[in-house]
Structure formats: structure tokens, C-alpha cells
Structure 1
Amino acid sequence: MELQKNDHSLRPEVRYRVKKIIVAIAVSGCALGAHIFGVVPVAGAASVVISPERTYRKCFGGDRFACVVDGDTLWIEGAKIRIADIDAPEISEPKCATELALGNRATDRLIELVNQGSFKLRAWPGRDEDKYGRKLRVLIRDGRSLGDILVSEGLARTWTGRRQPWC
């Protein structure tokens, strides 16, 4: 007995066209959903605008969507970001009490800065990630780096390519 081809199947060119339409609808739906919920891509983007719809706080426990780790590291939309143009004192493993105190002040100030409104997240030229897998980005508001604000207030240093002691 010979197998018969299903007469109800679509011609190959029609199937291809239908697949393209379905993919286009899916992509459009994802883009619309991202726009509605304020999700902004972080990886690989040259510059994106972040409009915080949540209040950034110090990272605690498992919440790593929108929080500040320390004076130069934060989580934005679920991506771990290292502010690439500065170095702030450590608070997780400080070398002395002075570094811890200054690191806590830098952390608190960064929380204030990111909660003051929208800012741009700009890629760091030449490198996308550091050795810990953090995205290297510069945070900019009104043409000024938020890192520069921390530097001008004595809470961070301009990044020179290596860490300097805080003690």
C-alpha cells in the first residue's frame, strides 16, 4: 500500500511565510512586554536609559534585581554591574576600620544617587565584563558620571587600572 501525501498540508513557501509571521509576532510581543514592564537590556548595549521604577536599597539576602552591593557595584534589572570609571572602598573585606567607614558612606551615597531618577548606563570601551563576570558600565545623569560625583565627594577614586590602598 502506498502512503499518500496529506492534501491539507501547506505548501513549503506558505509554511515559511507563516513561520516568519509567528516569529515577528513573538518578537514584537516580547518588546512590548519589556517596554510595559520597564525592562531594559544591559548586556551588550552601548548606552541604555534606566528609569528606576523600584527603590534601590542595599543588597540583602537573595534579592539581586535592583540593589547596591557597595560603592562601585550594584544590580540593575538582574544584571551585576561594576561602575567602571571608579574604585570605591571595600565593605565586604575591608583592610581597616577607615576603609569600612568610607565604604559604607560610598554605598549609602550611591543608593541616593541611583534613586534620584533616570540615568544612562554606558558600556565601558574595550571590555564588557571584569574577571568576576560583572558588566563594566558607567552611570551617567545629565552628562555627568555618577562615579565622578562619588570621586568629587571623596567617596571613591578614578579607576586607573589597579586598586590603591584605602588604609
Structure 2
Amino acid sequence: MRNGLIFLFVMVSSALAGEVPPPAHDGDTFYVAPAADTPFCSRLRWGRWESIRILGIDAPEMHGRCELENRLARVARERLRELLGSGQLVLDRRGCDRYERTLARVSVGGHDIAEVMISEGLARPYSGGRRRSWCGR
């Protein structure tokens, strides 16, 4: 609860200042405020944010199975935050997943985010099915 309130405070104060990119949950999921006419997959997170899952990648989970995965997840999330703040965000919505996230191809400043994350070793290609472990790479 406390972490949620801190997150909400930081996001609201940053949004008011107009200086923060969309919040990232981890290396392959982030949130955007949807336009009024944009269909989306789920209820809004925290009453405001649409959850976007980047198509084509698997990134380490924030609450992973080992300390290595947890560290990699923090690095991937920070890099995604940097990328999201580096230019104009373009979403190509492709559907919904079972967790009610919008599946989308994502680019910023003309760069495909999935390709960048994979090339930097912060994500792996993913097209469905069982994901490989990040522990003991």
C-alpha cells in the first residue's frame, strides 16, 4: 500500500510538471493515459493508466525467481523508462493478453523498443509459450 501511494504521488507530481515519460512496470510493460477515443483491453490501472505489453520480447520479472533476475529486471525497467522519455511514443496496438494488457509494437523516435531492448541484452525475443529462466543465464 505504501509503495503504491509513493508511486502515485511521484507520478501525479511528475505529470503535473510535464517532465516524465510513461511509467514502466518492468522491462516489457508500461502504462499510458489513453486518448478518449482509443479502445483498450482492460480497466484502467489506478483509474487512469492503460497497461501496455511490448510485443515480441520477454524481459526479466521485477519479483523474479532469483536475485540475478531481480537485478536484471531493475536495469531493464530503467532502460525502458529512458527509452520512453527519449522521443515521440508510437503505439501499434495488436490485441489483448490474458492479463488485460494491450499488446503493442512500440517505437520511440523511430526506434523499435523491442529491437533496442533485445540488442542491449535486456530482453529476449518472445513469440508465446514457455519463457526461459533468467536465473543462471
TM-score higher than 0.5: yes
Distance (whole Å) between structure 1 residues aligned to residue 19 and residue 96 of structure 2: 25
Matched residue, 2:127? 160
- What TM-score results when the alignment is normalised by the length of structure 2? 0.69
Matched residue, 1:135? 102
Count of residues in Structure 1 that have an aligned counterpart in Structure 2: 102
Q: Does 1:83 align with 2:54?
A: yes
Q: Deviations over 1:68-101 (max 9, x none)?
A: 111011111121111112110001x201111111
| One of 74, 82, 101 as aligned partner of 1:104 | 74
Specify the structure having the higher radius of gyration (Cα): 1
Distance (whole Å) between structure 2 residues aligned to residue 54 and residue 132 of structure 1: 29
RMSD between superposed Cα atoms in Å: 1.4
Distance (whole Å) between structure 2 residues aligned to residue 121 and residue 54 of structure 1: 20
Q: Deviations over 1:13-60 (max 9, x none)?
A: xxxxxxxxxxxxxxxxxxxxxxxxxxxxxxxxxxxxxxxx5403xxxx
User: Which ranges of 4 or more aligned residues in structure 1 deviate by more than 6 Å?
Assistant: none
Distance (whole Å) between structure 2 residues aligned to residue 113 and residue 72 of structure 1: 12
| One of 81, 89, 113 as aligned partner of 1:119 | 89
Question: Structure 2: where are the runs of 5+ without partners?
Answer: 1-17, 34-48
* Cα distance change on mapping 1:142 and 1:116 into 2, 3 Å: closer
Give the share of equivalent positions with the same residue, in percent.
36
Question: Structure 1: where are the runs of 5+ without partners?
Answer: 1-52, 57-65
